[in-house]
Chain A
Amino acid sequence: MTVLSTSLPRVKRSSLANALVITRREIKDNFRDWRIMAPIFILTLIFPALMNFTAQIAINWVTKYDAVIVGERMIPFLLMIVGFFPISFSLVIALETFAGEKERNSIEPLLSMPVTDLELYAGKMLAALFVPLTASYFGIAVYLVGLYFSIGWTPDFWLLTQMLLLTTAKGLVMVSGAVVVSSQTTSVRAANLLASFIIVPMTLLLQAEAILLFWGNYGVIWLIILALLVVDLILVRMGVRIFNREEILSNEMDTLNPSTIWRDFKGCFLRPPQQALKQDAPLPRLNPLNIWRNDIPYLMKIYRLPLAVVLGFWVVAIAAGTLTAPLYPLPPGMLDLNDISMGAFKDVDRFSVLPGLGAGGIFMHNVRALIVSVMLGVFSFGSLALIIFMLPMLLVGYFAGAVNLMGYNAWLFLAAFVLPHGIFEVPAAVISITFTLRIGAALVSPPKGLDVGQGFLWTLANFSKIFLFLVIPLLLAAAFVEAEITPLIVHWVYAY
């Protein structure tokens, strides 16, 4: 059959040009909405002037009490606030443009146009960012011009760069976060409720920034900018993945169905991973032997990449710990390995942060730590789980480095203190964190052929399987060795 073309001529355009057609329409629409424009206008012109006035009053007042530093620190803080308030509207606009279009059924005509999902996404993102960011930069300019003419204050180039970057990165976080939130809902109301997942962290971040700015530690702001850019990347990646015709038109229900979720989870847990989501595949009975023989080797094989990432971080953590040791050496006499008695192990639980050195206590502590890491990992796309995993490894590296500086053999230290139970405990932690990382990653990049929900359930079921049938046995062995054998080895190595 021949391809039929209509008689009308067409203009060939780039992807960016297509996206900008959408952006232009949305921006024009924003300008026509007084509910958006009126507050933005106020925040752009009136609020910076008010902040200006506040800064002058504050400086005059604190100068009277020789607390000039408070005034000096307040000016950058108010600069950040002036920049932030208008961009907070990017969240409202983004929710309206993504969830609102779905709710008003105006998205489907757009989806029937010859534009790609990415062009649609980019067009809407740019539109949601444009007005608030422009207002924000303009507000900053008004504030700075005001300050220049009132008290002659001009910002340091790097401080201004930081504030502009911070404002832009925060706007992008809110907009890209709004896309993710909107994808899970069909109404603006529901999206607004879910938006607290964006507003609450942003509020906390603002408070942290306020502390840093009053403290005057502007260097840390760079780290915050870096972290925000990483979050931007993750959220944009997630948004690109989620914002597609299939997901938009398939998720037409806001309600969660616990029985379906449970059934899918059970299916993923009981079936071999290759057939986990095949509803028509038989649901076998729980067979630990099959799990050990088939599922675990298969899962370990397909989780090679996250496993490599975790092992890489493990090496980095140990190395970083070791390198930190010379910077923060242990006080002389604090650690005398030649004077270790068995009683020293028994007294460990006097420090409330450490578990008692009974096998049960150690086991429960380790299980708790891994469960907390999986919970935090889900909300942080796996990153917090990695950080929690790295902390003890940093300590191991640090102590190895520290004992080396004190003249002991670091390898012997590791072999006596860590190796006996570490043989079980480190693989358990590495495997657990590997599977946690994949749960977090599934939210950003679901396994091929699965949507976000299916990917989450599949990776969660894989984690549960591996946790119950591999990690827990390893942790039990590790706890027993750590409580009963490691002290004997340490005592044997160092006491004689």
Chain B
Amino acid sequence: MIEAKGLTKKFGDFTAVNRIDLSVAEGEVLALLGPNGAGKTTTVRMLGSILRPTAGYARIAGLDTVTQAAEIRRIIGLLTEFPGLYTRMKGLEYLDFFGELQGLPKSIRQERAEMLLRQFELWDARHKRLGEYSKGMKQKLTLVRAMLHDPAVLFLDEPTSNMDPQSAKLVRDAILSLRQEKRTIVICTHNLPEAELLADRIAIIRQGEIIVEGSPAALKTRLLGPPMMELRLVETLNGQLEGLDDLIEITSRGEDWLRYVTPFPQRINPQLLQLMARQNVPVFTLNEVSRSLEEVYLKIVEGEAV
């Protein structure tokens, strides 16, 4: 659905985005992660036909972002980094304005606006001036604006920033349901747990270049090594278990727990449980030790790993 090759954007001497290659399939959610000024917003602006690339090209649903810009703007929805609302307008009126610019007939505009405002719990505030909206309400309204014309592709720049946890959950749920509807979504975010939760794939940008790309699990494996497992026992382990050292490489242990690293947990874990059962050692839990995406992210943006 989204394809970019050698996408580059220069502002004078400053290269904001440098030869980015991207491919996002229909129904896929891609999270662009990166520090401020890494080039995420510029990338989204180029993909959204707002900025022209200095070099390279991008296509959305087969449409060229430069030569078929107007067509692209009809099938994409853009949630901008800053809400940038007209504070003297009212909620419903604001949506009607953007719906009209999108060329939606009046009845459809009204129908869609009502449905989305209700979904995002803004219906009661539809006649309030936008200047009176809270930060979270403003952010939700901009998301509604981006979704109003039922776009096939959504670019969401920091979709849950400024939101209280309840509103953020509402938005995340909405994004998950859009994903189920096979919408293609690109999210720019600093919120790593959110990226992990929502995205099928993550691309980390540093200084205008995509440094790594892959699923959250693949990135963790690639950059943090194979998964680490933790076995917890019901009782204190007295003495050495026979055959344990042949099966796994223990990295740390306590009286009733041990941790090991294995690249093949699907094969090793059942064998370990069988070993425990044979030797009458009751197992309390066997889990993967959670490793945060933050570790991966920091390793990359601080230049420790590529």
Binding site for B on A (CB under 8 A): 1-13, 18, 21-22, 25, 29, 32-33, 104-116, 245-246, 249-250, 260, 279
User: Which A residues touch B50, using CB under 8 A?
Assistant: 108, 111-112, 245, 249
CB pair A21 B100 closer than 8 Å: yes
A11 to B61, CA, bound (A): 21
Q: Is B105 an interface residue (CB 8 A)?
A: yes
The one of B11, B71, B88, B145 in contact with A109, judged by C-beta atoms closer than 8 angstroms, is: B145
In the complex with contacts A3-B63, A25-B97, A245-B51, A9-B89 CB distance below 8 A: no
Count residues of B near A (Cβ-Cβ below 8 Å): 46
In the complex with contacts A6-B152, A106-B84, A114-B101 CB distance below 8 A: yes
CB pair B76 A8 closer than 8 Å: no
User: Which A residues touch B1, using CB under 8 A?
Assistant: 4
Q: Is B112 an interface residue (CB 8 A)?
A: yes
CB pair B103 A112 closer than 8 Å: no
A107 to B75, CA, bound (A): 19
CB pair A108 B102 closer than 8 Å: no
Interface flags for B40-82 (1: CB within 8 Å of A; 0: not) read 0000010010111000000101110000001101111010111
CB pair B98 A109 closer than 8 Å: yes
A111 to B74, CA, bound (A): 12
User: Which A residues touch B101, using CB under 8 A?
Assistant: 18, 21-22, 110, 113-115
A385 to B149, CA, bound (A): 53
The one of A4, A21, A107 in contact with B97, judged by C-beta atoms closer than 8 angstroms, is: A21
In the complex with contacts A6-B149, A8-B108, A279-B13, A106-B86 CB distance below 8 A: yes
User: Which A residues touch B75, using CB under 8 A?
Assistant: 4-6
The one of A3, A107, A109 in contact with B78, judged by C-beta atoms closer than 8 angstroms, is: A109
CB pair A33 B97 closer than 8 Å: no
CB pair B70 A114 closer than 8 Å: yes
Given contacts A4-B26, A105-B81, 18 further A-B contacts (CB under 8 A): A6-B75, A8-B108, A8-B150, A9-B104, A9-B105, A12-B103, A18-B101, A32-B88, A105-B82, A106-B85, A112-B73, A112-B78, A114-B70, A114-B71, A245-B50, A246-B52, A249-B45, A279-B13
Q: Supply 8 A–B pairs (Cβ within 8 Å), ascending by A.
A: A3-B63, A4-B1, A10-B103, A29-B86, A105-B80, A108-B78, A114-B101, A249-B50
Interface flags for B101-133 (1: CB within 8 Å of A; 0: not) read 111110010001000000000000000000000
Q: Is B142 an interface residue (CB 8 A)?
A: yes
A11 to B151, CA, bound (A): 16
* Residue among A2, A7, A9 with max Cβ neighbours from chain B (10 Å): A9
A332 to B59, CA, bound (A): 80
User: Which B residues touch A29, using CB under 8 A?
Assistant: 86, 88-89
Closest CB in chain B relative to A117 CB, distance in Å: 10
A1 to B184, CA, bound (A): 15
In the complex with contacts A3-B63, A6-B151, A245-B50, A25-B86 CB distance below 8 A: yes
CB pair A11 B103 closer than 8 Å: yes
CB pair B73 A4 closer than 8 Å: no
* Residue among A32, A33, A108, A115 with max Cβ neighbours from chain B (10 Å): A108
A106 to B81, CA, bound (A): 11
A350 to B111, CA, bound (A): 86
6 pairs of A and B residues whose beta carbons are closest in the complex: A1-B62, A105-B84, A106-B84, A105-B82, A10-B103, A114-B73
In the complex with contacts A25-B86, A32-B88, A114-B51 CB distance below 8 A: no
A246 to B62, CA, bound (A): 23
Closest CB in chain A relative to B233 CB, distance in Å: 55
CB pair B74 A246 closer than 8 Å: no
User: Which B residues touch A111, using CB under 8 A?
Assistant: 50
A12 to B103, CA, bound (A): 7
Q: Is B12 an interface residue (CB 8 A)?
A: yes
A8 to B86, CA, bound (A): 26
The one of A4, A11, A109 in contact with B104, judged by C-beta atoms closer than 8 angstroms, is: A11
In the complex with contacts A13-B103, A108-B80, A114-B74 CB distance below 8 A: yes
Closest CB in chain B relative to A84 CB, distance in Å: 28
Closest CB in chain B relative to A103 CB, distance in Å: 10
User: Which B residues touch A33, using CB under 8 A?
Assistant: 88
CB pair A8 B104 closer than 8 Å: yes
A9 to B12, CA, bound (A): 41
User: Which B residues touch A10, using CB under 8 A?
Assistant: 74, 102-105
User: Which B residues touch A4, using CB under 8 A?
Assistant: 1, 26, 61, 75, 152
CB pair B105 A11 closer than 8 Å: yes
User: Which B residues touch A25, using CB under 8 A?
Assistant: 86, 89, 97
Interface flags for B5-33 (1: CB within 8 Å of A; 0: not) read 00000011100000000000010000000
With CB as the reference atom, state the residue of chain A lying closest to B61: A4
User: Which B residues touch A105, using CB under 8 A?
Assistant: 80-84
A3 to B64, CA, bound (A): 11
A22 to B101, CA, bound (A): 8
In the complex with contacts A10-B102, A114-B103, A279-B13, A3-B71 CB distance below 8 A: yes
User: Which A residues touch B26, using CB under 8 A?
Assistant: 4
In the complex with contacts A29-B89, A245-B50, A245-B51, A112-B11 CB distance below 8 A: no
A18 to B76, CA, bound (A): 19
User: Which B residues touch A8, using CB under 8 A?
Assistant: 104, 108, 112, 149-150
User: Which A residues touch B61, using CB under 8 A?
Assistant: 1-4
CB pair B102 A3 closer than 8 Å: no
With CB as the reference atom, state the residue of chain A lying closest to B106: A11
CB pair A109 B51 closer than 8 Å: no
CB pair B86 A260 closer than 8 Å: no
With CB as the reference atom, state the residue of chain A lying closest to B78: A112
A2 to B82, CA, bound (A): 33
A1 to B108, CA, bound (A): 28
A113 to B128, CA, bound (A): 24
User: Which A residues touch B108, using CB under 8 A?
Assistant: 8-9
User: Which A residues touch B73, using CB under 8 A?
Assistant: 112-114
CB pair A109 B103 closer than 8 Å: no
A115 to B103, CA, bound (A): 10
CB pair A6 B150 closer than 8 Å: yes
A18 to B50, CA, bound (A): 18
CB pair A260 B12 closer than 8 Å: yes
A25 to B104, CA, bound (A): 16
With CB as the reference atom, state the residue of chain B lying closest to A21: B100
Closest CB in chain A relative to B157 CB, distance in Å: 9
A279 to B14, CA, bound (A): 11
User: Which A residues touch B85, using CB under 8 A?
Assistant: 106
Closest CB in chain B relative to A258 CB, distance in Å: 14
A250 to B51, CA, bound (A): 9
User: Which A residues touch B152, using CB under 8 A?
Assistant: 4-6
